[in-house]
Amino acid sequence: MSSNNSRADFGSKIGMILATAGSAVGLGNIWRFPTEAGKGGGGAFLIVYIACILLVGLPLMTAEFVVGRAAHTNTAQAYKRLGGGWLWRHVGQFGVFIGWFILCYYIVVSGWTLNYLVTSLRLGPYGAANWDTYFGEMVARPWEPIVYMAVFMLMSHFVIVRGVQKGIEKFSKILMPLLFLIMVVLCVCSLFTPRAAEGLDFLFTPDFSQLHFKTVLGAMGQAFYSLSIGMGCLCTYASYFSKETRLVKTAFQISAIDTLVAVMAGIIIFPACFSAGIEPDAGPSLVFIALPKVFHDVFGAWPILAWVVSVLFYALLVLATLTSAISLQEVPTAYLAEDCGLSRGAATSVVSGVCIALGAVCSLSMGPLSDWTLFGKNIFDLFDFVSSNIFLPLSGACITFFVGWRLERSLLMDELTNGGAVSPTLARCLVGLLKYFVPFAIVLVFLSGIGIF
């Protein structure tokens, strides 16, 4: 498996952990997790979510790591090299396609976060905006969201074009500590809001009466999304891991960081929402409509603090989405550079160009192209629906089947135990989960995603 010996690897353990955690930590943690927890009874959702991470997320993440590290190449080649044959070659290419496809609409939302950061900075402590209508008006404009989206894409381009060590790793080492620092500052501010105790109570005291079968499926879908499973990112990053990296331990560390960030986002958002008298289950509009008002209401007596908090919050969102977008962009870039003979610069430009073009169509579907619909959904919603509800479970199913049933058992155990250096007990449990439990869980998530129950 070492035909690619000259290939770049992550240069340090901390760089590898921060880059991979950067992929996992994103909108899923800061936007989606609090919304889902808000709908699913706070603490009860948290317990179920942690169980889903351990029983489904962790095995799948480890499985993607195994494929990437064992093959030591991009996602498309990896499945072909390890699986052989026509089918597996296409499964790998499908993984690359999903990463690219998701990036096209992920950068649209990322552009909104950049817009909010710039707008809150520009407003200053004494400026005001009508946040109730701001979001709807902003996304419906033809050019503004496209410009922000393109600027965001170029930020990711700027990192990716520099390569694995000088780009992804170096920037993750700067951006991720900054992200943690901002989170800690925001948590402290939120804990000083008047009704902080109620917010914390909601997040940590389980209300099992709100817990339904659908909530469990929601938690499982959230675990998938939050850990970046099935998008080729984990497999591609694992192809840059060293042979000494302990895959199960690394998957555990990344899942723990990801969950910690989600809980911290809850600690920021719930006390602030309760203090401003806003329901924490406001749905996806929470971050873009409710929160800007929340910051101004709660810290109204100190306009400068209100301003700093909202600027920091949107800076946090931009950082989190940027590190995720970088990991997504690396998937097709590595493929084009390694399989299609393009230079890294050319590969990065092709990926950025296609994403900006398709992202512009997604963005316009909220405004001038809003009557281009299929099954009652505009293009942006279609991208979102198809990727979250169809592509991701399908790709998850391929990974679990490939690693659980198809991959040579000795190679699998070798990767999981680093050639016998680590005790095989945990590895055996993970393989058992991958073979029997995870496929069952994926089928349930898929059926729920397409509306069967």
29 binds ligand PHE (CB under 6 A): yes
* Backbone dihedral angles phi then psi of residue 451, each to the nearest 5 degrees: 90, 15
The interface mask with ligand PHE, positions 200-219, x = CB under 6 A, is --------------------
105 binds ligand PHE (CB under 6 A): no
Region of 51-59, 107-115, 226-234, 423-431 interacting with ligand PHE (CB under 6 A):
226-234
The whole-angstrom separation of Cα 89 and Cα 342 is 20
Cα 329 vs. chain centroid, distance in angstroms? 13
DSSP 3-state of 377: strand
Which member of 18, 27, 117, 254 binds ligand PHE (CB under 6 A)?
27
Using alpha carbons, select from 327, 336, 296 the residue that is nearest to residue 74.
336
Region of 26-34, 65-73, 81-89, 274-282 interacting with ligand PHE (CB under 6 A):
26-34
222 binds ligand PHE (CB under 6 A): no
Q: How far is the CB of 74 from ligand PHE (least distance, A)?
A: 16
Q: Total residues contacting ligand PHE (rule CB under 6 A)?
A: 16
Which member of 73, 74, 113, 228 binds ligand PHE (CB under 6 A)?
228
**DSSP notation for 429-447:** HHHHIIIIIHHHHHHHHHH
Nearer to ligand PHE, 28 or 83 (CB): 28
**CA within 13 Å, CB half, 350:** 17
The whole-angstrom separation of Cα 131 and Cα 278 is 14
Nearer to ligand PHE, 100 or 402 (CB): 100
Q: How far is the CB of 228 from ligand PHE (least distance, A)?
A: 4
26 binds ligand PHE (CB under 6 A): yes
Q: Which residues of 312-325 are buried (b: 16+ CB within 10 A; e: fewer)?
A: bbbbbbbbbbbbbb
Other CB atoms within a 10 A radius of the CB of residue 362 amount to 26
Nearer to ligand PHE, 22 or 43 (CB): 22
Q: How far is the CB of 233 from ligand PHE (least distance, A)?
A: 5
The interface mask with ligand PHE, positions 313-342, x = CB under 6 A, is -----------x--xx--------------
**DSSP notation for 237-279:** HHTTS-TT--HHHHHHHHHHHHHHHHHHHHHHHHHHHHHHT--
Nearer to ligand PHE, 223 or 407 (CB): 223
The whole-angstrom separation of Cα 151 and Cα 26 is 18
Nearer to ligand PHE, 193 or 239 (CB): 239
Which member of 19, 37, 117, 231 binds ligand PHE (CB under 6 A)?
231
259 binds ligand PHE (CB under 6 A): no
Which member of 75, 119, 215, 226 binds ligand PHE (CB under 6 A)?
226
**Helix-then-strand count for the chain, H and E:** 23, 2
The whole-angstrom separation of Cα 363 and Cα 404 is 39
The residues of the shown chain that bind ligand PHE, judged by CB under 6 A, are 23-24, 26-29, 102, 106, 225-226, 228, 231, 233, 324, 327-328
